[in-house]
Amino acid sequence: MDRKTKKLLWKPGTMLYPVPAVLVSCGKFNATQNLITVAWTGVCCTDPPLCTIALRRQRHSFDLIRAGGEFVINLTTAAMARAVDWCGVKSGRDFDKFREMKLTPLAAKLVQAPLVAESPVNLECRVREVRELGSHHLFIAEILAVHADPSYFDAKTGYFNLAAARPLCYCHGHYYEMGRYIGKFGFSVEKKRSSKRR
């Protein structure tokens, strides 16, 4: 098969991979708090800063988020992979997921849902809109605050090295950690820019 001209034709499906595997915390800190694993999440606007998560109506967290109108997106790491998977297959109706996975809830600044202390980055979010799409509802939310683990900051440059946390991603039913560095945004034209300045 000539890879340049031949492709396998599949039916329409959710083959947009890889995606981040995040833990979304919801409910109220030290009360109704819960965690749900979400792979269908992303940013959709910079001003105001907006993000989305997609949830099935049947999930326990769905009603918590719908009622509270808030949640926290907690980025995850390779070290958290077991907890991420477990929180995706077990229900908060039956388990205290923080306790079972030995994760630490922290009080957020602007929302009632907790942060996950073990996460390198936490995004406090307030729901702006919910769209019923079919199998999933899309929650569009404003990012109100971002918390970052200071251990990933370079003291000399001030650069936040998230890659050092070994971020976890999800690819067609499997978990992976982020791979090798290739280049920064704009690297493909960087030399052209520098040559024009001379």
Residue 2 pLDDT grade (very low, low, confident, very high; cuts 50, 70, 90): low
Nearest in space to 76 (alpha carbons), one of 158, 178, 179, 159: 178
Number of other CB atoms surrounding residue 72 within 10 Å: 29
Number of other CB atoms surrounding residue 86 within 10 Å: 15
pLDDT tens-digit readout, 47-65 = 999 999 999 999 999 999 9
Residue 70 pLDDT:
98
Q: What is the pTM of this model?
A: 0.92
Residue 195 pLDDT grade (very low, low, confident, very high; cuts 50, 70, 90): very low
Number of other CB atoms surrounding residue 107 within 10 Å: 11
pLDDT tens-digit readout, 103-134 = 999 999 999 999 999 999 999 999 999 999 99
Q: What's the rounded Cα separation, in Å, for the pair 141 and 129?
A: 7
Residue 3 pLDDT grade (very low, low, confident, very high; cuts 50, 70, 90): low
Domain boundaries, the chain: 19-151+162-182
Judge: domain 19-151+162-182, CATH 2.30.110.10.
yes
Residue 194 pLDDT:
47
Residue 155 pLDDT grade (very low, low, confident, very high; cuts 50, 70, 90): confident
Please check the confidence at residue 176 and state whether its pLDDT lies above 60.
Answer: yes
